[in-house]
Structures are given as C-alpha cells and as structure tokens.
Amino acid sequence: MENIEEFGKRLENLLKYGNIRGPKRTIRVTSVSFCPLKAALTARYDVRFFGEKNKERILGQVLHMGLLGLIKDSWSYLQGDIEATPEIEKEVSYELGEGWLLTGRTDLVIGEHVFEFKFLSDWSYEKIPENLDEVDEESVLNAYTEQLNAYLNMLPGAKFGHLWIFRHNELIPWKKLEIKKDSRAFKEFLKRARGIIKLIESMENGELPKDPKPRFEWECKNCIFKSICSR
Ligand code: SF4
C-alpha cells in the first residue's frame, strides 16, 4: 500500500511541478553544456521530442541501452578482479538553491570510476581524438567531458572519469578518453546552470532573450525552437 501511495505522490508532483520530486525544479546536467535558451525552453515546457530529425539520437539510445544491459547481464564474466558492484544509470543531484536541483544520470559507476558511453554516427574512427588536448572548440566532445566532470563532482567518492566513444554502426572499436576531476570547471558549469534558471524565470515573466547565443554554432540547425527563437 505504501508503494501505491508513493506512486500517487510522484504522479501528483509530476502533474503539478513537472517532476516527481515536488516543488523542486530541475535542470538536467546534459542540457547545461548546450544552448542556454534551448535548455531553458526545454525545462520550462518539459519538451520531449522524437521525430525524423532525431532518428540518429534514437538509434544511439537503443545502442546505449543494449550496451548497459549487456554489462549488467554479463558482469560475472566481465568483472575480473573488480570487487565493486556496478551501478547502472545511477541518478545524481545537486542543490542549486531556491528550490532548484541539478540532476543527471551517469551511465555506469564502478567504485571510484564513472563511465559515460557515447555513440557517434558521423565521425570516422580516425576523427575521434586520442586525447582531449586535440579537441577543437566546436566539438561536441567538450559538452560530453563537461557532463562527465559534473558527475564526478556531484557523486560522493567519484574520482576517475572515463569517456568511451563508440561508432553507431559497430560496437567496437572504441576510443577511451580519461577525464580528470576538475572542481573549477564544475563551478563554471554551476554558473551556467544558474544562468539557465534566470532565463526560465524571465520567461515566466513573459520575456524571451532578444539575442540568444547557442553554445555551439551548429546547434541552431536542427533546433526544435527555431520557429520561436529570434536567432
Ligand atoms: S535556435 Fe539556436 S539560439 Fe535559438 S534556442 Fe535553438 S539553439 Fe538556441
């Protein structure tokens, strides 16, 4: 019966506040690394969009789920000498103040190690850099490393980040990039999250920014908010 009451409470919160936790409002880690206006509009209107333009994303999600399922089901074969139990899709959150939460879901946690798996479709294997010093400013890898760094800072006991990159059309080979925990970069990340909150609050007062700036130039091309955005 308790479970049913909890379910009822969660459903009510979802209907009233747009999330299961109640009056706290949430910004997702994955949105902070991209266009702040897109993040604000997505959080404000709780947009979930699946369409033709996102078929690569859907395929990525399916491969992603398959990989996590494989790790879970085959852990006894994969674990070798690792004693820690793998935690798959572990939820993390961080209080931003004034009822706002930064939330996210890591792909895999094994003890002090946090993993993010990304599937890229339009990159050749050679184009994926061997290390992060080779990444250019407009690369989506900058967003992925920031997100992983956020998880490292949000998760108590996490020390080492691993970004493993796969191509869509073959599960191997992958490139494995190591991410160092960087608390200064996380402070910048939090500043951006708070900037998104300000944007949401100004939208609630009926204002839309006149000159929005995406994080990456390529973001506007397939943005679902193009029709209402002044850019
Ligand atoms: S069109 Fe560009 S600037 Fe406008 S919300 Fe989308 S990504 Fe941001």
pLDDT tens, residue by residue, 98-142 = 889 999 999 999 999 999 998 877 666 667 777 777 788 888 889
Task: Please work out whether the CB of residue 203 comes within 6 Å of at least one atom of ligand 1.
Answer: no
Q: What is the pTM of this model?
A: 0.84
The pair phi, psi for residue 98, each rounded to 5°, is 50, 40
CATH number of residue 140's parent domain:
3.90.320.10
Q: Which atom of ligand 1 is nearest to the CA of 213?
A: 3
Closest residue to atom 4 of ligand 1, CA basis: 229
Distance of CA 231 from the midpoint of ligand 1 (Å): 7
pLDDT of res. 17:
67
To which residue do tokens 């209107």 refer? 45
- Burial grade of 209 (CB within 10 A; 0-12, 13-18, 19 or more): middle
pLDDT of res. 62:
77
Task: Please work out whether the CB of residue 214 comes within 6 Å of at least one atom of ligand 1.
Answer: yes
Distance of CA 193 from the midpoint of ligand 1 (Å): 16
**pLDDT above 90 as % of the chain:** 49
Task: Please work out whether the CB of residue 225 comes within 6 Å of at least one atom of ligand 1.
Answer: yes
Taking the C-alpha atoms of residue 83 and residue 23, their distance in angstroms, rounded to an integer, is: 39
Going by pLDDT thresholds of 50, 70 and 90, the confidence category of residue 84 is very high
Q: Which residue has the higher pLDDT, 143 or 19?
A: 143
> How many structural domains is the chain composed of?
1
Q: What is the pLDDT of residues 146-170, one digit of tens each?
A: 999 999 999 999 999 999 988 766 6
**Average pLDDT estimate for 5-20:** 81
Task: Please work out whether the CB of residue 22 comes within 6 Å of at least one atom of ligand 1.
Answer: no
**Average pLDDT estimate for 212-228:** 90
Q: What is the pLDDT of residues 36-77, one digit of tens each?
A: 999 998 887 766 544 445 666 777 777 788 889 889 999 999
| Amino acid sitting at position 1 | M
**Average pLDDT estimate for 187-215:** 92
Angle between helix axes 36-45 and 183-204 (nearest 10 degrees) is 60
Domain range enclosing 208: 2-228
pLDDT of res. 50:
44
